[in-house]
Amino acid sequence: MQVTMKSSAVSGQRVGSARVATRSVRRAQLQVVASSRKQMGRWRSIDAGVDASDDQQDITRGREMVDDLFQGGFGAGGTHNAVMSSTDYLSQARASFNNIEDGFYISPAFMDKMTIHIAKNFMDLPKIKVPLILGIWGGKGQGKTFQCALAYKKLGIAPIVMSAGELESGNAGEPAKLIRTRYREASDTIKKGKMCSLFINDLDAGAGRMGDTTQYTVNNQMVNATLMNIADNPTNVQLPGVYKNEEIPRVPIVCTGNDFSTLYAPLIRDGRMEKYYWNPTREDRIGVCMGIFQEDNVQRRDVENLVDTFPGQSIDFFGALRARVYDDMIRKWITETGAEKMGALLVNGRQRVSMPKVSMDLNVLIKYGKSLVDEQENVKRVQLADAYMSGAELAGHGGSSLPEAYSAR
């Protein structure tokens, strides 16, 4: 009887342990199923693989959403305080042309070339290779950069801007990396549904070779090679050290310069760069000058006579001419104020010193224009570098220190 009771007890224990094991297995399976289900709570949007931003602003948004025990210290040392400020998120390379007033002249040919180039790069043309880069080149002071700014403003584009000084660095490879970074930044803007472009000022000054005396550095070589690579693969531009093959939106590139023959020849070939020589016509020069003198109520016939009087001058000559007209009024203000008190009024004054408008007629403009031309002729005529570099040019009867009034005698 006792043997029978022991055997039944043992068998009962075995059955109970088996039931416990079965329940544990079922509980583990339920936990696995529950953990494999997608979380639908309030933290779903910041799960790994779901949240695409995960930046400093997200950290700030999490303030007071968890217990103070897990939030860390308060004040600047808290874990939910953003290290970066909101201004750090603004692009330092993005240009805004909202400060440019209306009324300035845009050359129809210039506007046509820029508009077609940008539009072609955003279109899907059948079996046509569109050049990515538009190279606008021409003489100094002809208003290439300002015409680009006016065209960008009319198109509603805030481009990512680079200058020639950023194409060289003390660190090898830094300018090439910067070009890729700026290109990706413009591409991200396009990805958000807003048109953008990469604008490079004075490309030949930063990446060109100005004769045999200019040193050709590794950065010059890599800038040319990077632009060539981007022009060949505009939708696959990777940052250094990143080898993720992802397709990004195409970004049209516009660059200005004075002489593109100084650039690497394979870069400026027709398949990569579309070249446009900007040489403003008489009508273009008159239109730009009308914009320069629009605040001074100068008549169109006077502007035409002024342009015809100085046909060989660049467009920025007329801007410098307008600024030169104010010299007499400023000289009179300095005489009345005193040179000793001038600094306190200009720098520490409560109100900014301003001048009334000067009456500008044709005779006054031509007079100051001739004075500017005379200074240009002096630079071309008195070339002291030739005298100094060829030998010892000492003071004497024929030296460079002799006043011109004596040399005329």
In this predicted structure, the answer to whether residue 55 has a pLDDT above a threshold of 70 is no
Backbone φ and ψ of 26, nearest 5°: -65, -40
In this predicted structure, the answer to whether residue 38 has a pLDDT above a threshold of 90 is no
In this predicted structure, the answer to whether residue 142 has a pLDDT above a threshold of 60 is yes
Question: For residue 81, what pLDDT is reported?
Answer: 62
Q: Please state, in angstroms and rounded to a whole number, the distance separating the CA atoms of residues 160 and 201.
A: 11
Superfamily grouping for domain 96-279: P-loop containing nucleotide triphosphate hydrolases (3.40.50.300)
Number of residues that make up the chain:
409
Q: Same topology for domains 96-279 and 283-345+353-387, yes or no?
A: no
In this predicted structure, the answer to whether residue 79 has a pLDDT above a threshold of 70 is no
Mapped to the 3 state alphabet, what secondary structure does the chain carry?
CHHHHHHHHHHHHHHHHHHHHHHHHHHHHHHHHHHHCCCCCCCHHHCCCCCCCCCHHHHHHCCCCCCHHHHCCCHHHCCCCCCCCHHHHCCCCECCCCCCCCCCCCCHHHHHHHHHHHHHHCCCCCCCCCCCEEEEECCCCCCHHHHHHHHHHHHCCCCEEECHHHHCCCCCCHHHHHHHHHHHHHHHHHHCCCCCCEEECCHHHHHCCCCCCCCCCHHHHHHHHHHHHHHHCCCCCCCCCCCCCCCCCCCCEEEEECCHHHCCHHHHCCCCEEEEECCCCHHHHHHHHHHHCHHHCCCHHHHHHHHHHCCCCCHHHHHHHHHHCCHHHHHHHHHHHCHHHHHHHHHCCCCCCCCCCCCCCHHHHHHHHHHHHHHHHHHHHCCHHHHHHHCCCCCCCCCCCCCHHHHHC
Q: How is the chain split among helix, strand and coil, in percent rounded to 5?
A: 55, 5, 40
Question: For residue 19, what pLDDT is reported?
Answer: 62
pLDDT band at 226 (very low <50, low <70, confident <90, very high): very high
In this predicted structure, the answer to whether residue 35 has a pLDDT above a threshold of 60 is no
Q: Please state, in angstroms and rounded to a whole number, the distance separating the CA atoms of residues 302 and 323.
A: 17
Question: For residue 232, what pLDDT is reported?
Answer: 93
Does residue 374 sit in helix, strand or coil? helix
Question: For residues 405 and 372, which has the higher predicted lDDT (pLDDT)?
Answer: 372
Backbone φ and ψ of 319, nearest 5°: -70, -40
Q: Six-digit token pair at 260?
A: 């593109």
- The helix or strand, by DSSP H or E, that contains position 135, with its residue range, turns out to be strand 133-137
Question: Among 381, 379, 367, 258, which Cα is nearest to 310's?
Answer: 367
Task: Identify the bridge partners of residue 277 per DSSP, sorted by sequence position.
Answer: 137
In this predicted structure, the answer to whether residue 33 has a pLDDT above a threshold of 50 is no
Decide: 107 and 276 in contact? Cβ < 8 Å. no
Residue with tokens 């606008």: 136
- Helix 315-324 and helix 282-292: axis angle, to 10°? 30
Q: How many CB atoms lie within 10 A of CB 305?
A: 13
CATH of domain 283-345+353-387: 1.10.8.1070
Can you point out the beta strands (E) in 58-123?
A: none
Question: For residues 47 and 388, which has the higher predicted lDDT (pLDDT)?
Answer: 388
Decide: 176 and 135 in contact? Cβ < 8 Å. no
In this predicted structure, the answer to whether residue 272 has a pLDDT above a threshold of 90 is yes
* The model's pTM: 0.71
Lowest model confidence (mean pLDDT) among 12-16, 179-183, 284-288: 12-16
Question: For residues 354 and 229, which has the higher predicted lDDT (pLDDT)?
Answer: 229
Beta strand 160-162 pairing with 133-137: unpaired
Domain locations along the chain = 96-279, 283-345+353-387
